Amino acid sequence: MPSPNRQPLLPTLMHLRIQLQHIPDPRGRILSDASRIAFADVAGKLGDLFEEYIPELRMVVVDVRPLWTALLPWALLILLRYVVLLQSTEGVPHHLLLSSEDVDLISPLLHLLAQLATIENIREAMAQSSVFVAILTKAWMMLFPHKDLRLYITLTASLVGNRNEFRHLAAIASFTPNLSLALLESIMHEFSPGREVDYVHLDRVMWSMAWIVCASPKGCIFCSSLAVRWVFGFA
């Protein structure tokens, strides 16, 4: 039975979409603190609303494609922001590069994208945007080592990438050279022998590695070195 305390879907969705549209235009490369805070607030509320109503939304009781149209420029800007940040810094584990403000901005976006990607017509719209698939794929490759961000970004990449495998694999192959040793080391430390293993997170890491191996010979070397060092306990 639905909770009697649930927010009304249509009025709440309309209100949040209007709020999103009134945040200053994100198409420029600069995101002000006020815009960042406002976007994170709206994205968080939308993600919670979608999680609450996901059965109805999957049945297309409500057409949320206009929301995706409004969200797309934000998704592209924010994902690209972190791709550029993480690939431009060598030798530092990625979880140390993201501040709490960074996580507060990107985490609600990833949660919302994961909810949207489970809705058939939105997933198709996501997959039809080659630019979005390419940037999403690159963001996933940079963020899946980050334990706090891994689950939602990998879920979205798996759902959308499976619908546009050509663009997904092309982005992996072109971007694999940007994967640094620091990226490897952060994953190896998390799943090194003797540590307690979170198998949900391990599954996401292995799924990610499998796609990288599939798409790129260099990715195969990248993942093989991880496997060898893991099995032999970093000997």
Ordered by start, the domain boundaries in the chain are 9-171
138-172 pLDDT tens trace? 999 888 888 888 999 999 999 999 899 899 988 88
- Tokens 């796609």 appear where? 211
4-37 pLDDT tens trace? 566 788 888 888 888 988 887 665 566 788 888 9
Q: What is the pTM of this model?
A: 0.83
For residue 154, the SS3 value is: helix
Tokens linked to 114 = 């994961």
Q: What is d(CA 128, CA 124) in angstroms, rounded to the nearest whole number?
A: 6
When mean pLDDT is compared over 107-121, 177-191, 205-219, the highest value belongs to 107-121
Q: What is the DSSP string of 46-57?
A: HHHHHHHHHHHH
For residue 35, the SS3 value is: helix
Q: Is the confidence at residue 221, as pLDDT, over 60? A: no
Q: Is the confidence at residue 209, as pLDDT, over 90? A: no
Q: Residue 235 — pLDDT band, cuts 50, 70, 90?
A: very low
* Cα 130 off chain centre by: 16
Q: Residue 64 — pLDDT band, cuts 50, 70, 90?
A: confident
What rounded mean pLDDT belongs to the chain?
80
